[in-house]
Amino acid sequence: MTAVTAPAKLTLSLRITGVRDDGYHLIDAEMVSLDLADTLEIEEGHGIAVRGAGEIDPSENLITRALMLVGRSARVTVAKRIPLGAGLGGGSADAAAILRWAGYTDIQGAAQLGADVPFCLVGGRAHVQGIGELVQPLQHTPRTLTLLIPPFGCSTSAVYRRWDEMGGPEGANGNDLEPAALEVEPRLDEFRRLLQQATGQTARLAGSGSCWFVEGDYPGEGRIVVRTVPAQPQ
C-alpha cells in the first residue's frame, strides 16, 4: 500500500481576462497549496472508498478519471479532510495525487480532468492563466491564513454563468467572481460578516466559493487555521 497526500488549493486572487468561443473563461490567478489535505491510500485492486466529509460517486469522480488517464487500476481509500463544495479543490487535489503516484507530469493532459488539476499537480505557489492549464511556479512564501467554510457549497458553473449575466464585474477584493457568488448564494454574506467581525480583517472569497479567508492566525469556532506548503516532489 502507498499513502499519498492531496493538499487543498486556495485561490488568493482571481481575475477573469476573457471568454473563449467555447464558453470557457480565461483567468489570471495566484494559487497556493495548504497543509489542509486529503490522504489517499492506494493498493492493488479496484474501487474507491471514502472516509470523512461526504460521498463520492466512483463512476463519475475525478479519481476514477485520473486512473483511466494514466492507464492504471487500483483500490483507493480517501481520508477526506478538504470540505466538499468550498472552492478548495478537493476533487482536483485527489486526482492530482493519483497522477503524482503514477509518475504523470503532463500539465496539458492533466487539464483534461478539470481546470484546477494542473495547479494541484504542480502545487506550491503559482501564477495560473488560460483556463487553468498554464501554471508558472512561484517561490514559496510561508503564510498563515484562517478559513471559514459555510455548511453549503457553491456551484462553480452557476457562479460563472451569473458573472456573465452581470456583465463581467470586477471584484473589489481581488476576486472577480465574488459579486456573482454573493448573488447566486446570498447566505455567503452572513459568513463573510462573521469572519470579519471575529478577525477585524477584510474577508476574501476563495474562487467561486463558498470558503472565506483572511490573512493571519485566528482560531475559533468554525474557523480553520492553515499554512501554505511548498510543492511536493514529483
If you average pLDDT over residues 68-97, what whole number do you get? Answer: 93
Nearest 5 degrees, angle CA 187-CA 17-CA 63? 65
Per DSSP (E only), the strands in the chain are: 2-19, 25-43, 47-52, 75-80, 125-130, 134-137, 144-148, 204-205, 212-215, 223-229
Q: pLDDT by residue (tens digit) across 179-211?
A: 999 999 999 999 999 999 999 999 999 999 999
Catalytic residue among 106, 116, 164, 189: 116
Instruction: List the grid coordinates of 109.
Output: 493532459
Q: How confident is the model at residue 52 (pLDDT cuts 50, 70, 90)?
A: confident
DSSP string of 131-144? Answer: TTTEEEE------E
What residue segments make up the domains of the chain, in order of their start? 2-137, 144-229
Residue 85: the pLDDT is: 84
Q: Is 9 designated active site?
A: yes
CA dist., res. 123 & res. 117, Å (int): 10
Mean pLDDT (the chain, rounded): 94
Encode 59-92 in three state secondary structure. Answer: CCCHHHHHHHHHCCCCEEEEEECCCCCCCCCHHH
Q: pLDDT by residue (tens digit) across 117-170?
A: 999 999 999 999 999 999 999 999 999 999 999 999 999 999 999 999 999 999
DSSP 3-state of 214: strand
Q: How confident is the model at residue 59 (pLDDT cuts 50, 70, 90)?
A: very low
**Residue 31 near residue 11, CB atoms below 8 Å:** yes
pLDDT at 213 over 50: yes
Q: Which fold has domain 2-137?
A: Ribosomal Protein S5; domain 2 (3.30.230)
Residue 26: the pLDDT is: 96
Q: Do domains 2-137 and 144-229 have the same CATH topology?
A: no
Instruction: List the grid coordinates of 71.
Output: 492507464
Could you tell me which CATH number the domain at 144-229 has?
A: 3.30.70.890
Q: Is 116 designated active site?
A: yes
Ramachandran area for residue 117 (φ above 0: left; ψ -120 to 50: alpha; else beta): alpha
CA dist., res. 143 & res. 10, Å (int): 12
Instruction: List the grid coordinates of 213.
Output: 479567508
Specify the DSSP class assigned to residue 24: P
Residue at 39: amino acid letter: T
If you average pLDDT over residues 38-64, what whole number do you get? Answer: 80
What residues contact 84, with CB distance under 8 A and at least 6 apart?
53, 54, 90, 153
The radius of gyration of the chain's CA atoms, rounded to the nearest angstrom, is 17
Which pTM value belongs to this model?
0.93
Kindly give the interhelix angle for 62-70 and 90-101, rounded to the nearest 10 degrees. 20
Residue at 188: amino acid letter: L
